[in-house]
């Protein structure tokens, strides 16, 4: 059984995700609720969030202890709440996730900022990390190691949970001394050649395993059925951001501590508050834009096929797009193409030119002007969600503008719910949301517009995205 030499052994730790089965649903739900709560005095914020967690499906009968644990642990791990004096405030990452519903981008940013030491553990444990001199960004290290390994071996290089645990996470030669990635890879390869066994106990490997799984959610790694994680080369652009990250782009506890040789719990606690701010550093909107075409396709050919569809549209709709790479914009482009194919298939290719993107600046309450075969208008609001895992997401938000437009235009108004997951694009059409609300087919909670939850059995219908 492989053992890290005892003088180098330190178990790294972070809060367990208590929602791994439904991580996407829970995260978007919590981020949306936190965003909706907004800036409130700490106690009121806590109460409002607790009641939101209680309303999450399945939590009605949970103990209060469990509700409290959800609130504090999800926030600790994902940095959703920033403390500002006596107030609690939704963090940048929470607001972005609630607004864009781009889980892939969210996890890229999570992986990019995640580090040990970090404010997600209790101060006494963080103090221990600091006394050991831990200074470690796990996703950066793993991506760097796997790309070096690929380069030197000329083939795909993978790693499993146990190797990541025992050769990387729990070894101070890596987490403190930043052992060269080539040396770590050599150790892993040597262990494979000599059939060294690892402790696979669930509670031992779960922490490194969690991080690998988050990197999969970020679409940076892919997990094969053999349990090995490999670099996902459709994301090379994002991976370069990790490989070329500035060394000072991390939260440096050490330089901020008054006295490194005599760190107190007080010092650590004060810095943990600052840590949340680092974790929520403002990034360029395009810093990690999700390439939803890359996410939705399995091969380069499929990718190029979709890409060319959109590129051909670019000149026509260019001026209307806010930022060409964002998931919302790509979603809108896909829907414009879908609508043009639809109207042609229905026998009126002459109407194709009427299908247009409305520039966001006009704030008309929908994204796309489309048409029916009888030349009546069809007004389309596109709601796109991106996630690595299959997602059956029944929630979306309509702004006051959008809800008002839906009310005004009635059956002419459609929500196109586009769900992008690994290897697939799914599209659900929800006509006339206001009428559906009145008919009880969906619930709409007023909150800066309407939070919608629809019943897929009664509300709308799924169609194939036309290409």
Partner DNA sequence: GCTACCCGTGCC
Partner DNA sequence: GGCACGGGTAGC
What residues make contact with DNA under the rule CB under 7 A?
13-22, 46, 58-59, 62-63, 65-66, 68-70, 72-73, 75-76, 120-125, 200, 202-203, 205-206, 209, 265-266, 269
Least gap, CB of 2 to DNA (angstroms): 17
Least gap, CB of 82 to DNA (angstroms): 13
Least gap, CB of 32 to DNA (angstroms): 19
Residue 42 or 356: which CB sits closer to DNA? 42
Least gap, CB of 207 to DNA (angstroms): 9
Query: Distance (Å, rounded) from C-alpha 82 to C-alpha 61?
Result: 29
Task: Check the CA dihedral 344-345-348-354 and report its sign.
Answer: negative
Residue 168 or 313: which CB sits closer to DNA? 168
Residue 60 or 361: which CB sits closer to DNA? 60
CB atoms within 10 A of CB 8: 16
Residue 75 or 291: which CB sits closer to DNA? 75
Least gap, CB of 203 to DNA (angstroms): 6
Question: Do the beta carbons of residue 69 and residue 18 sit within 8 Å?
Answer: yes
Residue 58 or 347: which CB sits closer to DNA? 58
Least gap, CB of 408 to DNA (angstroms): 42
Residue 165 or 290: which CB sits closer to DNA? 165
Least gap, CB of 129 to DNA (angstroms): 10
Residue 22 or 150: which CB sits closer to DNA? 22
Least gap, CB of 356 to DNA (angstroms): 43
Query: Distance (Å, rounded) from C-alpha 64 to C-alpha 70?
Result: 10
Residue 161 or 340: which CB sits closer to DNA? 161
């Amino acid at each position: 059984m492989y053992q890290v030499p005892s003088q180098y052994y330190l178990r790294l730790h972070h809060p367990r995700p208590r929602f791994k089965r439904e991580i996407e649903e829970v995260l978007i739900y919590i981020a949306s609720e936190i965003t909706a709560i907004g800036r409130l005095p700490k106690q009121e914020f806590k109460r409002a969030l607790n009641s939101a967690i209680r309303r999450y499906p399945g939590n009605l009968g949970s103990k209060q202890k469990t509700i409290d644990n959800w609130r504090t642990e999800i926030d600790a791990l994902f940095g959703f709440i920033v403390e500002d004096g006596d107030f609690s405030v939704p963090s940048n990452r929470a607001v972005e996730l609630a607004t864009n519903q781009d889980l892939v981008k969210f996890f890229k940013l999570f992986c990019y900022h995640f580090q040990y030491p970090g404010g997600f553990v209790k101060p006494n444990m963080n103090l221990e990390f600091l006394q050991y001199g831990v200074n470690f960004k796990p996703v950066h290290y793993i991506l760097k190691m796997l790309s070096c390994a690929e380069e030197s071996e000329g083939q795909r290089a993978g790693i499993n949970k146990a190797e990541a645990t025992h050769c990387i996470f729990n070894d101070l030669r890596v987490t403190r001394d930043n052992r060269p990635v080539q040396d770590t890879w050599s150790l892993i390869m040597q262990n494979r050649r000599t059939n060294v066994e690892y402790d696979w106990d669930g509670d031992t490997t779960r922490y490194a395993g969690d991080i690998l799984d988050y990197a999969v959610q970020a679409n940076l790694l892919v997990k094969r059925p053999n349990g090995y994680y490999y670099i996902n080369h459709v994301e090379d652009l994002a991976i370069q951001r990790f490989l070329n990250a500035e060394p000072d782009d991390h939260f440096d506890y050490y330089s901020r501590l008054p006295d490194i040789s005599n760190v107190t719990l007080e010092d650590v606690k004060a810095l943990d508050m600052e840590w949340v701010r680092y974790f929520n550093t403002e990034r360029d909107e395009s810093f990690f834009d999700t390439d939803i075409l890359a996410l939705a396709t399995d091969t380069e050919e499929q990718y190029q096929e979709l890409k060319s569809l959109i590129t051909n549209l670019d000149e026509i709709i260019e001026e209307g797009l806010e930022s060409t790479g964002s998931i919302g914009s790509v979603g809108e482009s896909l829907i414009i193409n879908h609508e043009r194919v639809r109207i042609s298939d229905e026998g009126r290719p002459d109407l194709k030119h009427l299908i247009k993107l409305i520039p966001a600046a006009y704030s008309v309450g929908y994204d796309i002007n489309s048409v029916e075969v009888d030349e009546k208008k069809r007004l389309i609001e596109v709601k796109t969600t991106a996630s690595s895992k299959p997602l059956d997401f029944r929630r979306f938000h309509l702004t006051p503008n959008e809800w008002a437009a839906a009310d005004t235009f009635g059956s002419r108004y459609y929500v196109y719910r586009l769900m992008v997951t690994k290897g697939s694009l799914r599209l659900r059409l929800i006509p006339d949301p206001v009428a559906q609300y009145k008919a009880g087919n969906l619930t709409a909670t007023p909150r800066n517009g309407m939070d919608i939850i629809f019943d897929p059995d009664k509300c709308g219908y799924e169609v194939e995205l036309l290409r």
